[in-house]
A and B are shown apart, each in its own frame.
Chain A
Amino acid sequence: MLLFAEAPPGLTLTGVLGLAAVLYGFYHLKAGPGNSGQARQRDRRQQAQASRPPGAQHQSESLQAGFPQGQLPQGTSAAKQAVGSPLQAQLAGIRKVTISAPGVLLKELLPHELQDGASLRPAAARVLAEMLHSTAVYIMAHVSDDIGEATVRGALEAGGLVGKGPGQILPHRILFCSTLAGKEALVRQLEPELHIDAHEHTVKSLQRFMPQLLLISARQTASASVAYKNVAYAASLEAAFHTGQ
């Protein structure tokens, strides 16, 4: 009792201040780091959301954003879905693409049409050039003879697509075949993640073996016989891929 009758000589203002300091430090240690860490994470999240492009939210769905599985595009609905998606984003996860040139890159479709000449579609050429920046591309063409082969090769070279530079395809990666079955064998040998073709028959034959196929057809609607889950449809190459230009 004598302890509290009168203030001991040690318990002065200095002692009280020191005790307060200890208590403050204890409280700071206990609650301080958790609070600051959460704030930092929140800030980081806000910065990331600010820098992300508008279409990037679909990046995880990659090609499925442009080619919805199980859904047949109605007219240009596929193009509408892809509008605003950079091509690289669409091709994310795709290392190799094979393209059948007639009907996709060229206006001519059948081998006998290539005898008189080949016309390169400029828009499709731009898409191809963009594709070549990020993906390995192999072009193949079903021709009937050396004239057809020379015609196709000449058209691609005239479009500036053949060479060793960026946005160009190496000459030996332009493949030719004499039969449609041969074209299917070439595609199966290359094992691409995506094959683009203008022939329904080829797409139908390859449907079982390829992960993704794109049928370029002016009809823009698929017949019932070609309705497969891994097959997408588009009116043109530029309609299927938006380069952002």
Chain B
Amino acid sequence: MASKSRLLKEARECAKAPADLGISLQPDERNIHTWRGHIRGPSGTPFEGGTFELTLSVPQNYPLFPPSVRFKTKIFHPNVHFKTGEICLDILKGAWTPAWTLLAVCQAISALMADPAPDSPLNCDAGNLLRGGDLRGYASMARCYTLDLASAPARQLS
């Protein structure tokens, strides 16, 4: 299957990814269409120092269709649903192209963490904080959740 060969290729590329990228990605041993990733909180953001786990579900007709990605670790972010972990990102929906790889998707999510888009929020409270200009409140809350929920040792990134 075309998706399987491409996923195998991507798995090899992910294994060779540099550690300073802050992203660790690997497929499930029993099912290559299920991946698990860990993203280190970008430095200079309230998420710094935290490690966030993601689950990626790859469809059979990948790369023609985008993967389903969600945060397994709870995160306070306007574009991430706090309870379900659903991510509102254009490349995972209408703007998807086959040129995107799973590693590139994780990089885009890392960039989204550093640069949120409060105009299309899945977390209304985070969106309201940013749209109201209360950066102090947003950073304070994000930092609190990062230290409470995402500060487990980054074993995957060691």
Chain A contact residues, CB within 8 Å of chain B: 138, 143, 149, 170, 172-173, 175-179, 181-183, 185-186, 188-189
Given A181-B128, A189-B76, A175 and B141 contact (CB-CB distance below 8 Å):
yes
**A189 and B134 within 8 A (CB):** no
Chain A residues whose CB sits within 8 angstroms of the CB of B128 once the complex forms: 181-182, 185
Chain B residues whose CB sits within 8 angstroms of the CB of A185 once the complex forms: 125-126, 128-129, 132, 134, 137
**A178 and B144 within 8 A (CB):** no
> Nearest residue in A to B135 (C-beta to C-beta)?
A178
**A177 and B136 within 8 A (CB):** yes
Let me know if B44 is at the binding interface, CB within 8 A.
no
Let me know if B120 is at the binding interface, CB within 8 A.
no
Chain B residues whose CB sits within 8 angstroms of the CB of A172 once the complex forms: 143-144, 147-148
Chain B residues whose CB sits within 8 angstroms of the CB of A186 once the complex forms: 125, 129, 137, 140-141
Chain A residues whose CB sits within 8 angstroms of the CB of B143 once the complex forms: 172
Let me know if B153 is at the binding interface, CB within 8 A.
no
Question: Number of residues in B with C-beta < 8 Å to the partner?
Answer: 20
B110 CB to nearest chain A CB (Å):
22
**B141 and A179 within 8 A (CB):** no
Task: Identify B126's interface contact among A138, A178, A179, A189, CB under 8 A.
Answer: A189
Chain B contact residues, CB within 8 Å of chain A: 76, 82, 123, 125-126, 128-129, 132-138, 140-141, 143-144, 147-148
> Nearest residue in A to B139 (C-beta to C-beta)?
A176
Chain B residues whose CB sits within 8 angstroms of the CB of A188 once the complex forms: 125
Interface of A is mostly: helix
CA distance A173 to B147 in the complex (A): 9
A199 CB to nearest chain B CB (Å):
15
A121 CB to nearest chain B CB (Å):
23
B128, B134, B137, B141 pick with most chain A CB within 10 angstroms: B137
Task: Identify B137's interface contact among A138, A170, A173, A179, CB under 8 A.
Answer: A179
Given A181-B128, A185-B128, A176 and B147 contact (CB-CB distance below 8 Å):
no
CA distance A170 to B140 in the complex (A): 13
21 CB contacts below 8 A, A to B, read A172-B144, A172-B148, A175-B141, A175-B144, A176-B136, A177-B129, A177-B134, A177-B140, A178-B134, A178-B136, A178-B137, A182-B128, A182-B138, A185-B125, A185-B129, A185-B134, A186-B125, A186-B129, A186-B137, A186-B140, A189-B141
Query: 7 tightest A-B contacts by CB?
Result: A177-B137, A182-B134, A182-B137, A189-B125, A185-B125, A172-B147, A175-B140
CA distance A143 to B135 in the complex (A): 12
> Nearest residue in B to A189 (C-beta to C-beta)?
B125
B126, B128, B135 pick with most chain A CB within 10 angstroms: B128
> Nearest residue in A to B147 (C-beta to C-beta)?
A172
A98 CB to nearest chain B CB (Å):
12
Chain B residues whose CB sits within 8 angstroms of the CB of A149 once the complex forms: 136
B133 CB to nearest chain A CB (Å):
7
Known: A177-B136, A189-B123; 12 extra A-B contacts, CB below 8 A, are A170-B147, A172-B143, A172-B144, A176-B136, A178-B133, A178-B136, A182-B128, A183-B137, A185-B125, A185-B129, A189-B126, A189-B141
> Nearest residue in B to A143 (C-beta to C-beta)?
B136
Task: Identify A175's interface contact among B123, B125, B137, CB under 8 A.
Answer: B137
**A181 and B132 within 8 A (CB):** yes
**A182 and B132 within 8 A (CB):** yes
A171 CB to nearest chain B CB (Å):
9
CA distance A188 to B141 in the complex (A): 12
> Nearest residue in A to B148 (C-beta to C-beta)?
A172
